[in-house]
Each structure stands twice: as structure tokens, then as C-alpha cells.
Amino acid sequence: MEFFTLNNGIKMPMAGIGVYTFTPDEAEAAVENALRDGVRLIDTANAYQNERATGRAIRKSGVKREDIFLVTKLWPSVYEDENAVDDTLRRLGTDYVDLLFLHQPTDNWQAGYRNIEKAVKAGKVRSIGISNFDVFPGLTESAVDFAEIKPQTVQVEAHPYYPQTELKKLLKKYGIGLMAWYPLGHGDKALIEEPVFRELAAKYGKSSAQIILRWHVESGNVVIPGSRNPRHIRDNFDIFDFALTDEEMEKIASLDKSLRYYNGTPEQIAGFKAWAPDFDAQK
């Protein structure tokens, strides 16, 4: 395993598993399998409605809590709720989380950020970040300026077709990490089948997906690919026994198309605040 050192000195694994779109049963099985196969970073969220299942899997796995880097996200409907962090911890069945994001940049994000800063000071959260703020130009920089505790990580869409080159220049100034969702381009066949990935897969005895995930790690990105398949979970994590050359990294860099698969509109993002996860119905 390789690690990214956050700007507060905490080390975050460079690869883990995400449970976006997973049912509680699927999340529980996937997280338990991942932990038993050596994965130590788990990413969930209020909005995924599988936090309880994720917590159960952690306890069932037998892996010590302190050896797991647990990530979750507050949803905008609870940004201003002073009990939101405690409620999240109760669902997960833990005393703390290693990284807590604000999930969406709705108009109450500043109140939400102050809440997660309080959680850091109270010892309930080890590090904090912002997710999807890149959809609004300049907002990430505004959030960094607003923050008393600078974000340790941002979570954004990133992949070889959209490598977030400009955003990463800003993040580098503050030592802020990047956690990539859609790291494989939302399963875009065109990306996966790019000739450079096929060639490198043959050279290193890996799959094209593993080459892309390795590119992320060598670019400094943390990856959280989701899979319900135990073999795919193992394969997604089997990317630390080889390294790409500088020339190969440059070839992959040439694939940048400024193509993102998610383009949230202001109206859509504003609507996120009105929707609330059904926490009581969670399994």
C-alpha cells in the first residue's frame, strides 16, 4: 500500500473501496470482503444510506478500527444540524471518522463547514474536506479562504479524460489531497479501450482498469472504485507491484479531453438541500 500524507500529517491510503449505489446488503458484503483482502480505506456517505451496513462490515471483518481509514460525507439537509456528526457516528457504530466531507456545495455549505470544523476540535473527526465544489468555478478557492481548518482532501470526478490539472495546481499550494470518483471514467468503454492502456496492460500483465488506477496513484490521486464482485475488489487493489515510467505517464496525460461525465446545474445542486436521506429506514 502507498499513502498520501495530508496537510495535518495524517496518512491516507491511496486506494480503497466506495459504496455509492450499493444496497445495505451489497455494501456490507463488499466492505467485509475488501477489508479481508487488505483494503483499508472505506468511502460511504449519508446519502448512500448504507452507513449502518458499512459499520457492521467493519466490525465483522475483525480488522482493528484504528487500522481502517473510514470516510463519509454529510448531506446538505443536515449541514446546519448540530447533531449531524453524532448521528453519523451512531449509524457507523464508531467514535470517530478519519475523513468527513461536505457532499455538495449548496448555499448552506459555510454552516456545514463550521460544523465539521467543530467536530475536528471535539476529536470526532480526524480530517475534513469538500466534495463536488469544483462544479462552480472559483468555489474551491473560496472554501479554502473561508476555512479555519483548511480542507485536507477534495473529492471530485477525475480520470484520464478529465485529470483536474488546474484544480490540482490550487490543491498543491495547500497540500490538499484529491480523492477521485469515476476514476475509471464512469465505465466508459472508449476510455478503457484506449490503445495506450491495452499496450501497458500487456506489458505489465495487468488489466486496462488496473493501469488507469495505477496512473491515478502515480498522479497523486486517491482512488475509491466500487465493486460488488470480490475478484474485482481484489483486482482494483492489486496495483502496487509495478510502476509506470515517466514516458508512459506522459502518454496517458495526452488523453486529456476536458470531458467530465457529471455536470451538475445550479438548479440541480440547489435542490439537493431539499432532499433528505431516510435515516430511519436504513437497514
State residue 215's pLDDT score: 98
**Which tens digit of pLDDT belongs to each residue from 161-206?**
999 999 999 999 999 999 999 999 998 999 999 999 999 999 999 9
Domain positions in the chain are 24-281
Q: Cβ(157)–Cβ(260) under 8 Å?
A: yes
Q: Please name which of 191, 181, 134 lies closest in space to residue 161, comparing C-alpha atoms.
A: 191
**Which tens digit of pLDDT belongs to each residue from 6-26?**
999 999 999 999 999 999 999
Q: What is the DSSP code (8-state) at residue 95? A: S
Q: Cβ(128)–Cβ(117) under 8 Å?
A: yes
The residues that bridge with 32 in the sheet, in sequence order, are none
The residues that bridge with 70 in the sheet, in sequence order, are 42
Q: Which residues are catalytic?
A: 48
State residue 187's pLDDT score: 87
Instruction: Please tell us whether the domain made up of 24-281 is placed in CATH 3.20.20.100.
Output: yes
Name the amino acid, one letter, at 102. L
In the block, cell 475478484 appears at 231
The H-assigned helical ranges of 176-223 are 189-192, 195-204, 208-219
Question: CA torsion 32→37→42→46, rounded to 10°?
Answer: -20
Separation between Cα atoms, residue 154 and residue 18, nearest integer Å: 15
Confidence of residue 282 (pLDDT cuts 50, 70, 90): confident
User: 130 to each of 66, 68, 73, how far by Cα in Å?
Assistant: 23, 21, 9
In the block, cell 468555489 appears at 139
Helix (H, G, I), strand (E, B) or coil at 189: helix
Q: Considering the entire predicted model, what is its pTM?
A: 0.97
**Which tens digit of pLDDT belongs to each residue from 54-98?**
999 999 999 999 999 999 999 999 999 999 999 999 999 999 999
Confidence of residue 125 (pLDDT cuts 50, 70, 90): very high
State residue 223's pLDDT score: 98
The answer to whether residue 280 scores a pLDDT higher than 90 is: no
